[in-house]
Amino acid sequence: MFEVTHFANPRLLWLLLVLVPVVANYVYQTLRGGSALVISTVSGLENRRKGWKFYARHLPFIFLCVAAALLVVAIARPQNSESGSKSTTEGIDIVLALDVSGSMLARDFQPDRISAAKEVAAKFVNDRPNDRIGLVVFAGESFTQCPLTSDKKVLLNLLSQVSLGMMDADGTAIGNGLATAVNRLRDSEATSKVIILLTDGVNNSGQIAPLTAAEIAKTYNIRVYTIGVGSRGMAPQPTYDIWGNVRYVQAKVEIDEDVLRKIATMTGGEYFRATDNNKLRDIYTRINDMERNKVEVDDYTRYNELYMGFALWGLALLVAAYALRIFVFHRIP
């Protein structure tokens, strides 16, 4: 009750000054003495001890003064305040479309392209706790590794399981991968829908052309960011002998940047080229900043009324003061 931080009508507190002359007059009258009674002798009264009523006779007046003070405080409307803020987050649904074709084992990234891509994707997921994120993988075909989810532990676990042996058909079906990602987002009611497509090659398989998939994405108002992964020129890429053993040979890096750039332009996204681990991390950081959640913060201060407690205590003291006068000191007000 007494945690008061604010008064709605603070000027009314000046009424408390009225109590000053009232108390001063009471003290003066008490020290001066009350009514006189003429008696013939005071013998027999000199050694009489003063009872508790003698000391308690001031209680009614004290109760009345405190009650008056509490009632003045009550009409001044004491309040305490609570400050806070309400935030509204604009939801974003994101699908990561990741190339898992054999060339993603190339070692122009450390330790290789697929490992670097998984590392930066995991950091991207951790940096976006308020979004739903899904994962699509593609090589010669495509499938959904993880549907849209807000459970980041599940998503990160499924991302860690991504490997190059997940599909029977090798190749790079960019159109299929993009179409599968679009399919995961087409029914989304999020304010913003985004696909981040990462590949290191040229579309050479699949049933859907990349630009056809981009047209579908545009229809559903899905923004696509495309990332071409691979150094410029030559890079150590894996080859396999008839026994399945892998060895690395220098091979030309071929990325269909023209198609990736057109996909991004058609859908309102942007194309990026990552030539090493640091540039790949920088690209994801840039996309993360561009697709930052929109948070609207509404600061507020709420006041809680406390006058009722003061008023009830004041009335209780008034009743106590008159009860003492009538039933203890036998005075009729």
Q: DSSP readout, 256-314?
A: -HHHHHHHHHHHT--EEEE-SHHHHHHHHHHHHHHTPPPEEEEEEEEEEE-HHHHHHHH
**116 and 254 in a common domain:** yes
Number of structural domains the chain divides into: 2
284 in a structural domain: yes
39 in a structural domain: no
Q: What is the pLDDT along the chain (333 residues), one digit of tens a residue?
A: 557 777 888 898 898 898 899 888 888 887 876 555 555 555 554 555 555 666 677 888 888 889 888 888 889 888 887 776 555 556 799 999 999 999 999 999 999 999 999 999 999 999 998 899 999 999 999 999 999 999 999 999 999 999 987 887 889 999 999 999 999 999 998 889 999 999 999 999 999 999 999 999 999 999 999 999 999 999 998 887 778 788 889 999 999 999 999 999 999 999 999 999 999 999 999 999 988 765 455 556 777 888 888 888 889 988 888 888 887 776 655
> Strand 92-99 to strand 222-229: parallel, antiparallel, or no bridges (unpaired)?
unpaired
| Structural domain boundaries, residue 142 | 91-293
Q: Residue 268 is part of a domain; what is its CATH number?
A: 3.40.50.410
Classify 100 as helix, strand or coil: coil
**242 and 205 in a common domain:** yes
CA distance 182 to 214: 9
- Find out whether 74 and 307 touch, Cβ atoms under 8 Å: yes
Residue linked to tokens 């399945």: 244
**236 and 107 in a common domain:** yes
- Find out whether 269 and 61 touch, Cβ atoms under 8 Å: no
